[in-house]
């Protein structure tokens, strides 16, 4: 038991030291890391400890391995805010030097099932607009999102495919006079399903983030329920809290 704890402590120390070098710029994007043996000598630990540390960094998307060539530093993760912000997806990416792009996977009206009826406070079989999108940063898929909006809030949305490539909230506000008041979001780590792995160009069972969001209007009526899946190796989230005393 003590030996296992000691090994866990050692690989965490090694992992953090490598991360410090990445953050400081000593190891830059695309740089090849020292070999496992060189790292063993540098940190005076076993090869097993080095391998676990590297596996953890690879799972977190900090490094990647190329068979027969070595281990390299990954591109920095794309930051997105879950706090109150007027900046949409495109604006946040542009600020970080990325070119945003959106593909519409599906846009149609469906009958609400029991789950959607509960989330959106509508009756079962009421019409709901379903919008599924893949959003990109520099032609690299970043996340898959599917939104459900009660049809009566935006009855012509199915004919707005081109506009749906931009900010959905802005479209709802500008064209359908829907006033966004607040969102309630739940974020959790999951493993990529086969379908998600195909959408996001990652391996099946790769760690990803699942974000479930309920959006309310100024009357506290739910106007959108959405589920988004973000690549774990390319995404990081910022949450700001304001406290009153």
Domain of 66, CATH number, reads: 1.10.10.10
Separation of alpha carbons 106 and 96, rounded Å: 28
Tokens 């070595």, residue?
Answer: 70
Verify that 11 and 122 share a domain, yes or no: no
Last residue of a domain, one of 25, 46, 73: 73
Verify that 97 and 173 share a domain, yes or no: yes
Verify that 21 and 51 share a domain, yes or no: yes
Q: State pTM to two decimals.
A: 0.69
Verify that 226 and 177 share a domain, yes or no: yes
Verify that 147 and 193 share a domain, yes or no: yes
Verify that 17 and 135 share a domain, yes or no: no
Verify that 193 and 90 share a domain, yes or no: yes
Residue 83 has pLDDT above 80, yes or no: no
- For the stretch 125-137, pLDDT in tens is 999 999 999 999 8
What is the pLDDT at residue 8? 56
What is the pLDDT at residue 154? 94
Average pLDDT over the chain, rounded to an integer? 86
Torsion of CA 99, 192, 71, 76, to 10 degrees: 30
Verify that 19 and 94 share a domain, yes or no: no
* Least confidently predicted of 40-44, 71-75, 78-82, 87-91: 78-82
Give the total number of structural domains in the chain: 2
95 part of a folded domain: yes
- For the stretch 148-199, pLDDT in tens is 999 999 999 999 999 999 889 889 999 999 998 888 888 888 888 889 999 9
The more confidently predicted of residues 221 and 19 is 221
90 part of a folded domain: yes
The contacts of residue 195 (CB under 8 Å, 6+ apart) are none
* Least confidently predicted of 76-90, 105-119, 137-151: 76-90
Q: What is the CATH number of the domain that holds 91?
A: 3.40.1410.10
Verify that 65 and 82 share a domain, yes or no: no
The contacts of residue 181 (CB under 8 Å, 6+ apart) are 216, 217, 218, 219, 220
Q: Residue 38 sits in which domain range?
A: 2-73
Mean pLDDT of 36-43: 93
Separation of alpha carbons 211 and 205, rounded Å: 17
Separation of alpha carbons 34 and 178, rounded Å: 55
243 part of a folded domain: no
DSSP at 232: T
* SS3 track for 150-198: EHHHCCCHHHCCCHHHCCHHHHHHHHHCCCEEEEEEEEEEEECCHHHHH
Residue 78 has pLDDT above 50, yes or no: yes
Last residue of a domain, one of 30, 49, 73: 73
Task: Name residue 72's beta-bridge partners.
Answer: 32, 64
- pLDDT-derived band at 1 (thresholds 50, 70, 90) equals very low
- pLDDT-derived band at 71 (thresholds 50, 70, 90) equals very high
What is the pLDDT at residue 107? 96
Mean pLDDT of 79-99: 69
Please classify residue 208 by burial: count the beta carbons closer than 10 Å to its beta carbon, then call 0-12 exposed, 13-18 middle and 19+ buried: buried
What is the pLDDT at residue 227? 93
Verify that 147 and 28 share a domain, yes or no: no
Residue 80 has pLDDT above 60, yes or no: yes
Q: Kindly state the greatest CA–CA separation across the chain.
A: 66
- For the stretch 195-244, pLDDT in tens is 999 999 998 888 898 999 999 999 999 999 999 999 988 887 777 666 65
Among candidates 165, 152, 147, 168, which has minimal Cα distance to 213?
147
What is the pLDDT at residue 70? 92
Verify that 187 and 140 share a domain, yes or no: yes
204 part of a folded domain: yes
């Amino acid at each position: 038991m003590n030996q296992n704890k000691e090994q866990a402590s050692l690989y965490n120390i090694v992992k953090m030291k490598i991360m410090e070098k990445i953050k400081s710029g000593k190891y830059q994007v695309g740089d090849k890391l020292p070999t496992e043996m060189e790292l063993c000598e540098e940190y005076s630990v076993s090869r097993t400890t080095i391998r676990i540390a590297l596996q953890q960094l690879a799972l977190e998307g900090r490094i990647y391995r190329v068979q027969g060539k070595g281990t390299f530093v990954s591109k920095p993760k794309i930051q997105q805010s879950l706090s109150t912000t007027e900046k949409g997806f495109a604006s946040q990416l542009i600020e970080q030097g990325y070119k945003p792009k959106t593909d519409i996977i599906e846009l149609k009206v469906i009958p609400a099932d029991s789950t959607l009826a509960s989330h959106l406070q509508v009756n079962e079989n009421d019409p709901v607009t379903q919008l599924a999108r893949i959003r990109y940063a520099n032609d690299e898929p970043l996340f898959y999102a599917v939104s459900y909006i009660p049809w009566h809030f935006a009855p012509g949305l199915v004919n707005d495919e081109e506009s749906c490539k931009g900010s959905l909230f802005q479209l709802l506000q500008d064209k359908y006079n829907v006033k966004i008041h607040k969102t309630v979001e739940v974020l959790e780590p999951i493993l990529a399903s086969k379908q998600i792995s195909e959408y996001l160009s990652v391996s099946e069972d790769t760690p990803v983030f699942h974000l479930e969001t309920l959006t309310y209007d100024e009357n506290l009526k739910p106007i959108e329920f959405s589920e988004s899946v973000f690549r774990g190796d390319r995404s990081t989230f910022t949450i700001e809290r304001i406290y009153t005393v």
